[in-house]
Amino acid sequence: MGDISAPIIYELDYSSEGIKDFDSKVQENVGMDAKYLLHYPTVYIVNDKNKEKQFSVYIGETSDIKKRTIQHLTVDPKSRSDWKNLSISESSKMYVIGHNHFNKSLTLDIENKLMLYMSSIENVDAVYNRRTNQQNDYFTSHELDNIFSKVWRGLQKKNKELFPVEQIIRDSAIFKASPFHKLTEEQIRTKDFITLRIMQALTKGETRQLILVTGEAGSGKTVLMSSLFYELNQLSKDDPENLIFKDTKNFLLVNHEQQLKVYQQIATKLGIYSKKQPDLVSKPTPFINNHGPEDKVDVVIVDEAHLLWTQGKQSYRGKNQLQDLLERAKVVVAVFDQNQVLSTQQYWEYEELMSLQHEAQLNGNLMYLSNQMRINSDIATVNWIRSLIDEQEVGKIPSDSKKYDIQIFDSPEELHGAIKAKAQSQDSGISRMTATFDWDYVDKRKPEGEDYWYVRVGDWKLPWNLQLPVASKKQSIKNKHLSWAEQEQTVDEVGSTFTVQGFDLNYAGVIIGPSVKYRDGKIIFDRQESKNKKATQKRSLKDGSKEYFSDTLLKNELNVLLTRGVNGLYLYAVDEELQQALKDARKG
């Protein structure tokens, strides 16, 4: 941490008396505290705890903490219910944070990072702030992480309930999909371009505008869409500059149950999602059923658009969900990765896919994110994983200066033991077992004669995802809002692509099942061994013919599983030849 000093953190009652007492006590201190709290830029956190022990929080920054607090107490409650509730509560508190290195840019970045952290905390149910404040490079920007960690540890000493350990927060699915992450230059350029294109479409009255964002797994697409959705909704409430976005209707859709839970939690905490507008964040089918082409919404953002259906299914009566969305929105922003299409119901015929991309490219609306942001490794390690998937070759595992951990285990028992040890370590965070879909599993129905559907290898077995009971009713209620990987009992389950797609695991344990084989120096795919009927059944094409696309879809399944691990990838292959090839590939 170098010579950077600790922050000054002052806790007070959030009231007129509290701010007067704060002023007098700080004034009495003729040392540095008065200077840095009263005359320097500061960051502040107003918070209140309800009867259910859930916190509502407002995070802000100011160059005049006394004036700003008085405004919050006297003026803001007249126009905003959140400030009214905080001002009339007898239990609300306030933390004022000062530091000798604070300047306007640094406090804005600290404010933004506090929003990132606090919107990811389980017992914080509402975060009030109407803006994102990411700053570019500035004089003390290199000190941000060090100073923030000192601020967080200082806050934790004052209130462990409201400010838990950093690692716990950073491992949450909400944190990883939060709109408050500091975007990379590539993400900023893409977001600015998308916002400009939306402005142009809304101004000119254009409709059926498709903006296509592509990029491989882990390239930061989800964070980009989360940030865009939050910003559009903030602008829809208050856009004083040009009024283009004011009162616009903006929606976020994802065809993935676990990812939907995360987005709904984020939107609820940030005041976007409500019972009055339940489909602001939803799956595509209910949105399509609830909105007609005659009453177009302004913007629809589709994360994981490769999961959209390209044929009718169950409650969806249409033929192509993306085309239906284009009919119902002025602008559709779709995140698409053809290497993550997992079922025949999502499969795009080549001509259709090329036409889709060509249309977006022709309008200048095709963007590609190239940075690999998930896997914390050298490029050689990323290339090894990509070669295994894309070229279907098993090369020598390279040494990694960042210590990305690739291990090949002799048995699934050893693999599970290693993942369980990582999961129980606070430093390692969320680590889980996954497998190719090569063992029977039927959702919401038990198998005959057994309690669970199992992944079996020899005498070893472990239940498939979302089957194990929880310890208590309280935990069961909590689990409704948590993704599969965040639930405690799931460390003793095996996840599938349908559970973990779109999520990060710190260490990913992957059982490569018998549908993936190694023959004559190449990885091949055997649909006869797969239990994923969505990938192995024939697909009816537009010309009336039917074809198998299992090689592509099973390859995509492997792609999703092998790109989950942030810090490590642990492997075991059921096929003996593939297992031997992986063992031979280990570093010498």
- Consecutive H or E run containing 246: none
Residue 242 predicted with pLDDT over 70: no
**Tell me, what's the pLDDT at 167?**
86
Three-state secondary structure of 250-291 = EEEEECCHHHHHHHHHHHHHCCCCECCECCCEECHHHHHHHC
Structure tokens of 323? 């085309």
Instruction: Identify residue 317 by its one-letter amino acid code.
Output: R
Digit-coded pLDDT (tens) for 73-105: 999 999 999 999 999 999 999 999 999 999 999
Give the C-alpha distances (Å, rounded to integers) separating 149 from 8, 99, 110: 13, 13, 10
Strands 431-435 and 494-495, by their bridges, are parallel
- Consecutive H or E run containing 66: helix 65-74
Percent share of the chain, pLDDT over 70: 96
CB 104: neighbour CB atoms within 10 A?
12
d(CA 101, CA 40): 9
**Tell me, what's the pLDDT at 502?**
84
Structure tokens of 369? 């994110």
Segments of 283-340 assigned E as strands:
297-303, 329-336
- Up-side HSE of residue 357: CA atoms within 13 Å toward CB? 14
Structure-model confidence comparison of residues 250 and 239, the more confident one: 250
Digit-coded pLDDT (tens) for 548-577: 999 999 999 999 999 999 999 999 999 999
Which pLDDT band, with edges at 50, 70 and 90, does 1 fall under? very low
**Tell me, what's the pLDDT at 130?**
65
Contact 481, 262 (CB under 8 A): no
For residue 146, what are the β-bridge partners? none
Structure-model confidence comparison of residues 352 and 56, the more confident one: 56
Which pLDDT band, with edges at 50, 70 and 90, does 139 fall under? confident
**Tell me, what's the pLDDT at 480?**
77
Which pLDDT band, with edges at 50, 70 and 90, does 278 fall under? confident
Residue 48 predicted with pLDDT over 50: yes
Q: What is the chain's percent helix, strand, coil content, to nearest 5?
A: 40, 20, 40
Specify the residue for token string 């061994």. Answer: 529
Residue 134 predicted with pLDDT over 70: yes
CB 376: neighbour CB atoms within 10 A?
16
Structure tokens of 125? 């149910």
Q: What would the mean pLDDT of 347-362 be, rounded to a whole number?
A: 84
Strands 522-525 and 516-519, by their bridges, are antiparallel
Digit-coded pLDDT (tens) for 535-547: 999 888 888 889 9
Digit-coded pLDDT (tens) for 8-47: 999 999 999 999 999 988 888 756 678 899 999 999 999 9
- Residue 186 has φ and ψ, to the nearest 5°, of -65, -45
Residue 426 predicted with pLDDT over 70: no
Residue 314 predicted with pLDDT over 90: no
d(CA 17, CA 39): 20
CB 394: neighbour CB atoms within 10 A?
21
Which pLDDT band, with edges at 50, 70 and 90, does 108 fall under? very high
Contact 574, 513 (CB under 8 A): yes
d(CA 107, CA 135): 10
Residue 369 predicted with pLDDT over 60: yes
Strands 505-512 and 565-573, by their bridges, are parallel
**Tell me, what's the pLDDT at 347?**
87
Instruction: Identify residue 23 by its one-letter amino acid code.
Output: D
> Distance between the two ends of the chain, CA-based, in angstroms?
36
Percent share of the chain, pLDDT over 90: 74
pTM of the predicted model as reported, rounded to 2 decimal places: 0.89
Digit-coded pLDDT (tens) for 491-526: 999 999 989 988 899 999 999 999 999 999 999 999
**Tell me, what's the pLDDT at 213?**
95
**Tell me, what's the pLDDT at 587?**
66
Structure-model confidence comparison of residues 80 and 412, the more confident one: 412
d(CA 293, CA 338): 27
d(CA 359, CA 458): 51
Contact 366, 357 (CB under 8 A): yes
Structure tokens of 119? 């919107």
